[in-house]
């Protein structure tokens, strides 16, 4: 078993960060002291932000929540440990995918990025998804090329372009400093929220955990989230034994590599929620489920009769996990956003550009997706805490957070010593990635990918299913999983 790190100097940082997480979900901050953190302190990659601490502590929180459920099942405690460098690599796990002998492209669209504006500022155009790219190009009135976008953005003031693209149902934002963001009304709304909320929203009888030999055995999860944070949450629940069904639809845009990254352990079915019969099918699945996880903007699913209260009425005891970009209060509560958008408007890209300049002047993204993955790990933590409360107290529960809340928490962890990240390698050693990776047999062929990070002494996390294409399964809960894990090889085999 991995041993805890020293309790002196900066090596205490993961424990300190974990102590800020646990009380937000009703766990004891003292539980942090029992977690073993090994192998590295920040800075690990070239960024001023403590991304190693953030990744390791959020993963540890999920590990503690899983261990807590195991104790509830068996009366036995188990130890939790996290490799800090491995946790950091997990914050860009989509970067390390390989199908067969070929790398999986995770490149951004050519026009996605920062552009100087007429008023001497910078504007971020989010263009990875075709619908958001089309919205930005329609506002700018130009063709799809970096040169054309540069000329078009230069005709706008940054704040005006930010609002125009949002009004056109696109995504992006004006680059702000941290001081500017601190004065924004949405920043004030986010600052007033806890890191994560676990709120009782309905009454029902206590439900003991189903029989099983893993922390989440017998627990069914409907995953209606997209992109990274929400799918990572469901993937994390799957690695502790939950049966997860990803729900998508053919008309929804997606980036294929992200599905390969976050699909481990999941069934995948299509349901078009614009169709009433498909909505009825989804409600039928909800009645047989324990956790419903969604990442639509606040109020969006309520318009389809899928609000927390409505689903708790048809399935008393439901755990409803809700993710948004900017939180459920404030003037930007209904605004769409992504990890990169939160970085941009909150001052993180401005600061990254100051401390770790790129080849060209201006704002920079940090070299991973820390907000997305840390948010996913914390969503999974909240869901497991709510399951324990349901078992002990009964009730339906709402677990709620946002990318902006997690982004603020990462910033609040503080920065690494000045100058320390500038000359760090931007990549991990190949032997490290190989050590942390595994191979799954998928319908697309052999997929090499990072394995679970958290170490649990009695119930080692693993996925019982390989990732599959979207819509691969019918929208029906199986009686039992058909996949197995070959313990001798660590290879997941498709049914």
Q: Tokens standing for 25?
A: 């979900």
| Three-state SS at 116 | strand
Contact present, 93 and 60 (Cβ < 8 Å): no
List 242's β-bridge partners, or say none: none
The 10s digit of each residue's pLDDT in 64-110 is 999 999 999 999 999 999 999 999 999 999 999 999 887 787 778 89
Residues in the chain, pLDDT under 70: 1-12, 480-495
Closest CA to 374 of 7, 54, 154, 125: 54
Residue 102 is predicted with a pLDDT of: 78
Using the structure block, give the residue that is written with the tokens 């189903």: 210
Q: What is the pLDDT of residue 359?
A: 87
Handedness of CA 152, 155, 158, 164 (dihedral sign): negative
The predicted structure's pLDDT at residue 490: 42
Position 480 scores a pLDDT of: 54
As annotated, the active-site residues are: 372
Ranges of H-type helices in 273-369: 276-287, 308-314, 339-345, 348-355
Distances (CA, A) of 269 to 272, 285, 383, 441: 10, 11, 22, 19
pTM of full prediction above 0.75:
yes
pLDDT of 488 reads 29
């Amino acid at each position: 078993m991995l041993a805890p790190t020293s309790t002196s100097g900066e090596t205490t940082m993961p424990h300190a960060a974990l102590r800020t997480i646990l009380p937000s979900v009703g766990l004891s901050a003292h539980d942090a002291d029992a977690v073993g953190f090994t192998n590295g302190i920040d800075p690990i990659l070239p960024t001023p932000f403590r991304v190693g601490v953030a990744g390791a502590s959020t993963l540890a929180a999920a590990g503690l929540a899983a261990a807590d459920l195991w104790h509830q099942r068996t009366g036995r405690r188990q130890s939790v440990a996290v490799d800090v460098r491995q946790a950091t690599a997990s914050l860009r796990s989509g970067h390390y995918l390989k199908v067969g002998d070929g790398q999986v492209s995770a490149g951004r669209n050519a026009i996605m990025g920062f552009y100087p504006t007429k008023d001497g500022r910078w504007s971020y155009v989010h263009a990875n998804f075709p619908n958001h790219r089309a919205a930005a190009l329609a506002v700018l009135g130009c063709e799809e090329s970096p040169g054309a976008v540069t000329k078009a953005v230069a005709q706008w003031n940054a704040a005006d372009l930010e609002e125009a693209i949002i009004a056109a149902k696109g995504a992006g934002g004006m680059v702000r400093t941290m001081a500017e963001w601190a004065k924004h009304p949405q920043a004030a709304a986010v600052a007033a929220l806890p890191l994560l909320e676990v709120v009782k929203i309905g009454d029902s009888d206590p439900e003991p955990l189903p029989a099983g030999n893993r922390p989440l055995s017998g627990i069914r999860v409907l995953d209606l989230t997209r992109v990274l944070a929400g799918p990572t949450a469901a993937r994390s629940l799957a690695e502790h034994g939950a049966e997860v069904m990803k729900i998508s639809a053919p008309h929804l845009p997606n980036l294929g590599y992200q599905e390969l990254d976050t699909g481990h352990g999941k069934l995948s079915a299509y349901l078009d929620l614009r169709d009433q019969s498909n909505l009825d099918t989804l409600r039928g699945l909800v009645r047989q489920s324990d956790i419903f996880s969604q990442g639509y903007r606040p109020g969006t699913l309520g318009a389809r009769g899928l609000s927390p209260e409505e689903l708790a009425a048809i399935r008393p005891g439901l755990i409803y996990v809700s993710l948004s970009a900017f939180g459920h209060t404030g003037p930007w509560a209904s605004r769409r956003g992504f990890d990169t958008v939160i970085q941009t408007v909150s001052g993180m890209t401005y600061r990254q550009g100051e401390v770790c300049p790129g080849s060209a002047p201006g704002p920079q993204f940090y070299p991973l997706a820390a907000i997305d993955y840390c948010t996913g790990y914390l969503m999974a933590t909240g869901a497991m805490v709510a399951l324990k409360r349901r078992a002990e107290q009964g009730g339906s529960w709402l677990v709620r957070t946002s990318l902006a809340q997690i982004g603020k928490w990462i910033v609040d962890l503080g920065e690494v010593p000045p100058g320390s990240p500038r000359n760090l390698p931007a990549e991990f050693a190949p032997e490290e990635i190989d050590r942390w990776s595994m191979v799954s047999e998928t319908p697309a062929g052999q997929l090499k990918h990072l394995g679970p990070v958290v170490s649990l002494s009695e119930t080692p996390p693993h996925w019982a299913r390989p990732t599959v294409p979207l819509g691969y399964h019918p929208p029906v809960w199986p009686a039992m999983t058909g996949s197995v894990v070959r313990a001798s090889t660590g290879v997941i085999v498709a049914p």
